[in-house]
Chains A and B, each alone.
Chain A
Amino acid sequence: MVKITINNKEYQAEEGCSILEVALHNGIEISHLCYHENLSVYGGCRLCLVEVTRNGKKKLTTSCTYPVADGIVVETNTPRVKRARRLMMELLLAMAPESPRLQAYARELGVNTSRFKLDGDGCIRCGLCVRVCDELVGANALAFANKGDKKTVVPPFEEPENCIGCGACAFICPTDCIGIEESGDERKIKRWNKTVKMKQCTICGRLFIPYAQIEYALQKAGGALPKEWFEKCPDCR
């Protein structure tokens, strides 16, 4: 355990944790977008910036990537932190002006409008969808393509071959820019242009899981799941 100071108050923290984790654990709110507790850290959105003083040197850094160390002093609300976060928010808001979550964060930071032309496609390049698909689902159906201002998230070669239609990407997306549409026995993941057929629960009749996901799950379980497991939905199981 190490001792760190956040906003003039001392906290015990487990080594290996990030500042953001310690802060959230202790009820200190630091707005963040690309961080998720179950995924690897990315450090891309730059919203969770804090000032850290270590060995007498003060620097602005992202709290999600910074591993705690004994004696560091963290400030989450200095003028420099606020200035940087507001600017990041303005930049992000211009990419996804319609997003309720971004709008809420913006209000919290005192950002009413963005000074920049609203020209985004809704995606803020936070990479949560890429990571969830790779690290939790394991389907690895998404990737970043290109670099710089052309950087984008796409299924490799824009062929959503590995996509099993589970919808985890759409669920985790902070700006709701992926979109799921269900009609009849089909589910469409709009952003990747992937349509999958849904399986009906033999008990209640609800369409509850894509066939592609059943196939993937059974294969991944390697015999640990009985074949008829997906005959019933989780509620009827």
Chain B
Amino acid sequence: MGRLKTMAELEKLQAEILKKRNPETSCVTVCLGTGCQAYNSRAVYDAFVKEINTRNLTEKIHLKGTGCHGFCEQGPVVVIFPSEIFYRRVKPEDVPRIITDTVLGGKLIDELLYQDPVSGQKYSRESEIPFYRHQRRSLLGQNMLIDPGDIDDYIALGGYQNFAKALSKMTPEEVIEEVKKANLRGRGGAGFPAGVKWETTSNAPGDKKYVIVNADEGDPGAYMDRSLLEGNPHLILEGLAIGAYAIGADEGYVYVRQEYPLAVKNLSVALQQAEKYGLLGENILGSGFNFKVHIKRGAGAFVSGESSALVSAIEGRVGEPRPKHINTAVKGLRDRPTNLNNVETWANVPLIIAEGAESYKQIGSANNSGTKIFSLVGKVNNSGLVEVPMGITLREIIYDIGGGIPGGKKFKAVQTGGPSGGCIPATYIDTPVDFDHLTELGSMMGSGGMIVMDEDTCMVDVARYFMQFLKEESCGKCTACREGTKRMYAILEGITRGEGSEKDIELLEDLAWGATNASLCALGATAANPVLSTLKYFRDEYEAHIKDKKCPAKVCKALIKYTIDQTICNGCGRCQKLCPENAITGELKSPMTIDTERCVRCGICYDACRYGAINIT
């Protein structure tokens, strides 16, 4: 079908697509998200193509390469519909067996099933796996049903009908009102009500207005936005188009980092397909509304996610924040009123139009409606992308979904909000996860990074790590942030090397105050959070480093010593053989010793010793 000219034609197209598809036909979906592709899921997909073709099964088996399913550590992930059988760590050589035994034979292949690391139980259906069962995948759920390269998949699920509904049945004011009532808060970090922002842009004087998708996801380890863009680009485009209609913008930009090649590719294809159907472009569905979308690739600087820096970057200048005494909503891109929202925020918009604000608000907690996607990583059994209703506790995310801490270690803290977020200690594990509660604890929601730390994590070292990131990723324009992060890093580095002095904590607090109060932009204003939150909750660790020259978590190499317990060591020589520095001396079959001058504290001996004879002090 060519260009759709009316709303009715869109519905007709959906009906035609559905008619062609038999829900009973087996559908094999292979995750082709970046995470699974790193495990070579492309080869698995190709093996399926080859097998299906050579066995003439194209009529019987529908193959689909989808976006990210979220459980990336189990990749490559294959899910077989309609029974929803979940196979993990699938290799190309497993493919013939999967087709014969499971798809055609209806039998499960035991070793490809997921086994829960905590209970040891095996699961066959994706939705039964604890990692998925405790989530609420309002946004990510569609990822596993959609081939991002085929707009028909999206339309089959009712795609673009919310946009059509807004165009035909709602005035722009009504759309804004609905988003305001839904209390959709910006998912990029600050949690500012999107509807209020839309209204400001809509009311700002000027005929020419812009809407922008901020896809400059910069937090290390975070990939929520990437997965949405890669897996379901039309969802973002539909949300953006609804917003453009509400605000009165006829042009939009997706600012996406160049380091996300698959997202750029899938988005470009989606854009072309939507234009071909006339769902973007001139006189959309006969409504008289025009909307053109451009993709702008960014060079991937953390600071370009800041709205004024992003606008500068789209204009072709250096991505540096500008003083914002006049809001971007009033004077943004090319000095025109501009509404900028994060990928995930836009993704929520079709949902709000579909079910209405009241129903949307049923999910989530008071003042924090809807779901939030987190990238759950670190010292946790199940890591990956998780989508949960806001207001769920940290405990539920870390233990129910994440399966707790591996190796029987103790949970120590969770870092939320990306590099400029903060560390929340174990005592607050029952805190509801939403914008307000995380900010109250001195951290923040950020875009959804969640790094779990166990007892072996040194909090001073964590602060040092994030400060290193921030000093490098600061745009460097203002003294408070550029020099502040540089000096904070230097002090933290000194403390972890055992060179800390009593005055350091005071100096850190002063610099943190300066960055928070005197920086030009919000990134500078939050840059001190890693220091402030670790000082607030783990001050004793700082003091141990500075006063006692000890690292309680035994991480900071300059402050630890490896020794061999002479009463346990039986002189087996294993450590001696493995030590890269030849720092272990002694005769075989008699207790050995470590030359601490030579020892580089690599920990190889510790891991190698079968008798627990190596001590770290």
Contacts and interface: CB of A to CB of B under 8 A. Distances in A.
Interface of A: 41-47, 49, 60-62, 65-67, 80, 83-84, 87-88, 91-92, 94-95, 115-117, 124-125, 144, 146-151
A67 to B, nearest CB: 6
A44 B471 contact: no
Interface in B469-497: 470-480, 482-487, 489-490
Nearest to B521: A43
B490 A88 contact: no
B303 A147 contact: yes
Given A62-B323, A95-B483, A144-B318, 12 more contacts: A43-B322, A46-B479, A46-B520, A67-B325, A87-B480, A87-B518, A147-B472, A148-B470, A148-B472, A148-B486, A149-B472, A149-B485
Contacts of B480: 46, 84, 87-88, 91
B323 A151 contact: no
Given A44-B520, A148-B482, A88 B475 contact: no
B479 A45 contact: yes
A125 B520 contact: no
A149 B325 contact: no
A43 B520 contact: yes
B15 interface: no
Interface in B491-536: 503, 507, 510-511, 513-514, 517-520
Nearest to B476: A151
A146 B320 CA distance: 12
4 smallest A-B Cβ distances: which pairs?
Answer: A151-B476, A65-B323, A91-B483, A149-B486
A138 B303 CA distance: 28
**Residue from A67, A116, A124 whose CB has the most chain B CB atoms within 10 Å:** A116
Contacts of B472: 147-150
Contacts of B479: 44-47, 88, 91-92, 124-125
11 contacts: A43-B477, A46-B518, A62-B323, A65-B323, A66-B325, A88-B480, A94-B483, A115-B507, A147-B474, A149-B485, A149-B489
A84 B517 contact: yes
B487 A91 contact: yes
Contacts of A47: 479
Contacts of B507: 115
B301 interface: yes
A60 B592 CA distance: 62
Contacts of A149: 471-472, 474, 476, 482-483, 485-486, 489
Contacts of B513: 83, 87
A125 B474 CA distance: 13
A146 B303 CA distance: 13
Nearest to B491: A116
A42 B318 CA distance: 13
A80 B301 contact: no
Contacts of B489: 149
A60 B517 CA distance: 7
B518 A148 contact: no
B485 A84 contact: no
A122 B173 CA distance: 55
A117 B504 CA distance: 13
The bracket for how many chain B residues form the interface is 35 or more
A149 B474 CA distance: 8
Nearest to A64: B323
A147 B301 contact: yes
Dominant secondary structure at the B interface: helix
A117 B318 CA distance: 30
Contact of B518 (A88, A116, A124, A146): A88
Contacts of B301: 147
Given A46-B480, A46-B518, A67-B325, A87 B511 contact: yes
Given A147-B474, A148-B476, A150-B476, A125 B482 contact: yes
Interface of B: 301, 303, 318, 322-323, 325-326, 470-480, 482-487, 489-490, 503, 507, 510-511, 513-514, 517-520
Contact of B477 (A44, A94, A95, A116): A44
Contacts of A150: 472, 476
Contacts of B303: 147
A188 to B, nearest CB: 28
Contacts of B487: 91, 116
A148 B473 contact: yes
A43 B482 contact: no
A149 B457 CA distance: 27
A92 B510 CA distance: 15
A150 B471 CA distance: 9
A175 to B, nearest CB: 13
Given A147-B475, A149-B482, A149-B485, A87 B520 contact: no
A233 to B, nearest CB: 39
A91 B325 contact: no
B547 to A, nearest CB: 20
B516 to A, nearest CB: 10
A116 B484 CA distance: 11
Nearest to A54: B325
A148 B517 contact: no
Contacts of A45: 478-479
A124 to B, nearest CB: 8
Contacts of A61: 323, 325
Given A84-B518, A147-B303, A148-B485, A46 B323 contact: no
A117 B520 contact: no
B475 A80 contact: no
Contacts of A44: 477-479, 520
B514 A147 contact: no
A166 to B, nearest CB: 24
Given A46-B480, A91-B487, A148 B514 contact: no
Contacts of A144: 318, 476
Nearest to B318: A144
Nearest to A85: B518
B247 to A, nearest CB: 25
Nearest to A147: B476
B471 A148 contact: yes
A113 to B, nearest CB: 13
Contacts of A46: 478-480, 518-520
Nearest to A117: B490
A151 B472 CA distance: 9
Contacts of A80: 517
B514 A84 contact: yes
A184 B347 CA distance: 68
A41 B533 CA distance: 34
A57 B378 CA distance: 40
A49 B323 contact: no
B598 to A, nearest CB: 31
